[in-house]
Amino acid sequence: MELNERKERILEVIIRSYIDTAEPVGSRTVAKQFKQSISAATIRNEMSDLEDMGFLVQPHTSAGRIPTQKAYRYYVDSIMKVKQLEEVLKRDIHEGYLKVAGDLEDIMTYTTNLLSDLTKYASVVLSPKVTWANCKHLQIIPVFKERVLVVVVTTEGFVENIELNLSKELTIQDSLRLSNIINSLLGGLHASEINHNLIDELANVTLEEKVLLREIVIGVQEALFEHHSQVMSTGVTNLLDYPEFADTDRVRHLVKVSQKKNILAEALIGDHYSEVLRITIGDENKGEELKELSLITTTYELQDNIIGAIGVIGPTRMQYDHVSSMLEYIRHEINQNLLKILLD
C-alpha cells in the first residue's frame, strides 16, 4: 500500500511522537510539527483517511490516534532509515569488546548487558551451538562409577560438557585409550563420517571397547542434538518502566516470557532470509507470548556460517531505527571478535 508524501509525513510524525510519549497523538500536535504549513483541520482529514486505511486507531472518540501494527510495518519498511551509530558510541562499544576479547562466554554476557543498557529494552543472546559436525577433539573423563564426562571441543574452539552413563565403569586408562581412538578418527575424518558401522570395522579394538565407543558416540550425538545453545537475557526490568506495562497482569506475563528461554530462542532463530536485520512486530511474532511485543534480531557468523543470534525485545512502539543501528554495529563487533579468537 503506497501513501502520498503528505500522508507519509503525517504518519511518520504520529509514529515518532507515539514512540516517544506513548500518548495518543492529536491533530494539533501534528500540525505544530509542520510549523503552520498545514492546519490542524487538514491533518484531521488526512488522519481520518489514515484511519480508514488501517494505519491508525482511536482508543475512544475524543482521543488522539495511535499507530497500528500495520503503521509500524510501513514505517519500518518504507520510512525509517537506519543510520550509522555515532563515532563516540562506536568507540565506547569497541573498547568494551577489547576488554572481554578472547573469552567466548565473556563476549556473550557483555553483549547481553550492552544491548539492554544501550537500548533500555530487553536483550536476548543466543550463544553458538556446539554440533557434532564441528567436533574436533573429544575427551572422556570418568566421574563416578559408570558415569563419565565427555568434553567436546569444536573446530571453532567452543566447548561443551556432556555427562553419560555407560554400561561399564571406566578406569582412567580406559578413558584415555577410548579418547585416543575417537580423536585419531577425528584427525583423519570429518565428524559426520563417524558412525555405528565405522566403529564396528575398527581394527585393534576389542569388542567391549567397540560397545563403549558406540555408547559414547551415540550418546554425544544425541546430547548435542538435544542440547540447545545457551540463551542469555537481561533487561526485562527495563521494560517495566514503560507505561504499557504499568498494570500487573502485563508485568506477570512479561516476566513469564522472559523466563521461558525456549520461546526466546525460537523467536531468535526464526528465518533469516537475506536481510541482516529481521524485525517482527506484534502479531508477526510466532509465539503467542510475544504478540504484544516487537523483536529486532540479527545473526553473527564465523567463516560464513551463522552460528548464533542476538536480539532486542521491546514494546511495539520501539525505537526501531535506533535499535537497528545498534544491532547492526554490535553484530559487526561480535563477528570481528569471534574471528580474532579463531585466528589468535
Partner DNA sequence: TGTTAGCACTCAACGCAAAAGAGTGCTAAT
Partner DNA sequence: ATTAGCACTCTTTTGCGTTGAGTGCTAACA
Query: Which residues make up the interface to DNA (CB under 7 A)?
Result: 23-29, 38-42, 44-45, 47-48, 51, 58-65
Q: Round to whole Å and give the CA distance between 285 and 238.
A: 21
Q: Which residue number, 7 or 214, has a Cβ lying nearer to DNA?
A: 7
Based on the shown chain and the rule CB under 8 A, indicate whether residue 183 belongs to the binding site for a second copy.
yes
Provide the grid cell at 149. 564426562
User: Is residue 29 a contact partner of residue 64, using CB atoms and an 8 Å limit?
Assistant: yes
- Helical segments of the chain, H only: 5-21, 27-33, 40-52, 69-74, 87-100, 104-119, 172-188, 196-200, 207-226, 236-240, 248-259, 261-269, 320-343
Q: Write phi, then psi, for 168 (nearest 5 degrees).
A: -145, 145
Q: For the CB of residue 284, give the shortest distance to DNA in the complex, in Å.
A: 27
Out of 117, 144, 262, 305, the residue judged to bind a second copy by CB under 8 A: 144
Q: Which residue number, 40 or 251, has a Cβ lying nearer to a second copy?
A: 251
How many helices (H) does the chain have, and how many strands (E)? 13, 10
Number of other residues whose CB lies within 10 A of the CB of residue 262: 10
Q: 144 contacts which partner out of a second copy, DNA, none, CB within 5 to 8 A by kind?
A: a second copy
Based on the shown chain and the rule CB under 8 A, indicate whether residue 153 belongs to the binding site for a second copy.
yes
Alpha carbon 252 to chain centroid, angstroms:
22
For β-strands 231-234 and 278-281, DSSP reports them as unpaired
Torsion (CA) 272, 327, 262, 258 in degrees, nearest 10: -150
Alpha carbon 229 to chain centroid, angstroms:
11
Residues 74-113, interacting with a second copy (CB under 8 A): 102-103
Q: Which residue number, 83 or 145, has a Cβ lying nearer to a second copy?
A: 145
Looking at residue 286, its amino acid is K
Q: Round to whole Å and give the CA distance between 47 and 43.
A: 6
Q: For the CB of residue 327, give the shortest distance to a second copy in the complex, in Å.
A: 23
Q: For the CB of residue 67, give the shortest distance to DNA in the complex, in Å.
A: 13
- With CA atoms as reference, report the closest residue to 142 among 175, 189, 166: 175
Residue reference for cell 571441543: 153
Q: 202 contacts which partner out of a second copy, DNA, none, CB within 5 to 8 A by kind?
A: none
Q: Which residue number, 42 or 335, has a Cβ lying nearer to DNA?
A: 42
Based on the shown chain and the rule CB under 8 A, indicate whether residue 303 belongs to the binding site for a second copy.
no
Span of 52-60, 215-223, 233-241, 296-304 interacting with a second copy by CB under 8 A: 233-241
Based on the shown chain and the rule CB under 8 A, indicate whether residue 337 belongs to the binding site for a second copy.
no
Q: For the CB of residue 255, give the shortest distance to a second copy in the complex, in Å.
A: 5
Based on the shown chain and the rule CB under 8 A, indicate whether residue 251 belongs to the binding site for a second copy.
yes
Q: Which residue number, 62 or 167, has a Cβ lying nearer to DNA?
A: 62
Provide the grid cell at 90. 562506536
Q: Write phi, then psi, for 67 (nearest 5 degrees).
A: -70, 145
Pattern 193-232, binding to a second copy, x per CB under 8 A?
----------------------------------------
Q: 48 contacts which partner out of DNA, a second copy, none, CB within 5 to 8 A by kind?
A: DNA
The answer for residues whose C-beta is within 8 angstroms of residue 57's C-beta and 6 or more apart is: 51, 65, 66, 68
Q: What is the DSSP letter of 78?
A: I
Number of residues that bind a second copy (CB under 8 A): 38
Based on the shown chain and the rule CB under 8 A, indicate whether residue 163 belongs to the binding site for a second copy.
yes
Q: 58 contacts which partner out of a second copy, DNA, none, CB within 5 to 8 A by kind?
A: DNA
Q: 82 contacts which partner out of DNA, a second copy, none, CB within 5 to 8 A by kind?
A: none
Residue numbers at the binding site for a second copy (CB under 8 A) = 102-103, 137, 139, 141-145, 147, 149, 151, 153, 157, 159, 161, 163, 165, 172, 176, 183, 234, 236-237, 240-241, 245-248, 251-252, 255-256, 259, 341-342, 344
